[in-house]
Every structure is written in C-alpha cells, then in structure tokens.
Structure 1
Amino acid sequence: MAKDDSGDSGDTGTYKVTEGWLKGEARTKVNGLRNWIQTGPDYETLTEYAAESGVHKGLQAGSGTLGPDAALHKVFTQLCVSLKAQLDVLGNGFNTLSIDMAMVDTILQNSEDDAALTATEMNLELANALKVFGGAPTPPNP
C-alpha cells in the first residue's frame, strides 16, 4: 500500500492499494492476528477451562478442586465458554476478511487494464467480513 504523493502541499490522506498488497502483506497480517487469537497456550488453557477437561479442569480451592455446585466455579466456566466463543467469532471474522481481501486483490488485478475498482465495488466485497464483526459498510458521501 502506498501513500498518494501528488506533490502538492495539501495532504489528502489518500492511500492507494498496490497490486498484490491485499493478497500479500495485508492478508499475512490478518492471518497472523487470527492465528494469535486462536492458537497458543493461552487459547488451549481457555479451551480446557471452558470444557472442564485436561490439565485445567476448573478453579482450584486452597486444597483442591471446588465442588461442582460451587457458584464461583460455575460462573468461571461460563465466562470461559463465552470468551472462547467470542474469540472464535473474531478468528472466523478475520478468516472471512482474509478471503475477501484476496478476492478484492484478484478483482483489482483482473480489471487493471479495463477499469479501476470503485469504492462501491470494494464495499460490496468487504461487506461480508464487516457483517461477521457486527458492522456495516460506511455509505458513500453524497
């Protein structure tokens, strides 16, 4: 991605997406963030707490595991289940975003000789990923 240097002193804040950037560097960063969220020892521990299995079967009292009817244990397990579900939604959203960026990159490369991708077309392609995160594309200014 390159900043548009038009040479004048009035900075427009416009950036141009260069060929291959979406499928390359941008996609790599999005996939890296997804992997950071959904892998690693912290995610594994959270998964064990949520499932009450493995090494981390629940909260430990001073001398052993809390009883299954302990309110704190139950609430903590529910928190872990909820947090894991939200991390999975985020991870899936980043996966969708990664796929959509690759599609936009392909469209940009295929249409390079014919015409530029309009903001509307790009919004349509990326709207899928925005929906996963609970957002919507920003409508164009009139």
Structure 2
Amino acid sequence: MGAEVEIIPALLPHLTGLRLEAVVVRGITVRIDAATQTVRASCGVCGAWSTTVHGRYVRRLGDVRLGGHEVLVALTVRRFACVNAECRRQTFVEQVPGLTRRHARHTVLATGDLQAVAAALGGRPGSRLAQRLAVSVCPAPR
C-alpha cells in the first residue's frame, strides 16, 4: 500500500500543530482532546511577547462535522501574563491561528460554515439547517 498518512492532519488540517492527547467517540459525538505547544504568545492589545504562564484552562469548541459525527475540540490553552507594564491587559489567552478567536465557541472553520448558513437562510430555517449539519450552536461541556 502507499505511504501512510496520519489521520488527524489529513482529515482535520486546522488542528495541525496541536498536541493531540485523545480522540473519544461517544454516540454521535467525537471529542478531540488537544493542547497548544507554543512556548510564547503575543498580547492581543500591545503585541508584547510573553513566556510567563499565568494558568491553563480547557476551551470547548464546536467544529465541522466529520463522517456523520459531531466534533468537539477540547483545547487546553494557557493564560499568559503580559510583560508590558503599560498595557491595560494584565493577562491574555493564547490564540491558535486558523482555529480560535477570542471568546469564540466554534473553530474558525465551523464559524465560517455557520455564517454562510445564516447569510443564506437566517433565523429559524438557518438554525434548523445548522442543527441538521451538526454544527452545534453552543457545544455542551463534557
């Protein structure tokens, strides 16, 4: 057979660069437990780079459907202390380019799909189609 391909980068390229810790299939849901691997992050307000980790927490992000399964990314991110004494933000959370945005409950890819549905249909019809496509409006904690 041909060259082996790692399944996650092939099917979910937007998760490339993360440390994948587990993939759990439960019913119609696939939960992907992952963590960032960067050493430093940039403050979203002043742009200063920091390596001082203030804490960690898990973000739960709804993602695009995969093989008939709803996908939830449980992403462990770090909160960094801003090293710029003049910055109005004392701490900030690292963002993963192409995957996360501040306060978002969906991956960038899933958000794009939801926006396309909303622009095409709006309101209740859009909500029904989004549910059919299994792009959950608010991923449930697990």
Sort the TM-score into its range (normalised by shorter chain): under 0.3
Higher relative contact order (CA 8 A, sep 6+): 1
TM-score for the superposition, normalised by structure 2: 0.26
Q: Which has the higher strand share?
A: 2
Bigger Rg, which one: 1
TM-score of the two chains, using structure 1 as the length reference: 0.26
Structure having the larger proportion of residues in helix:
1
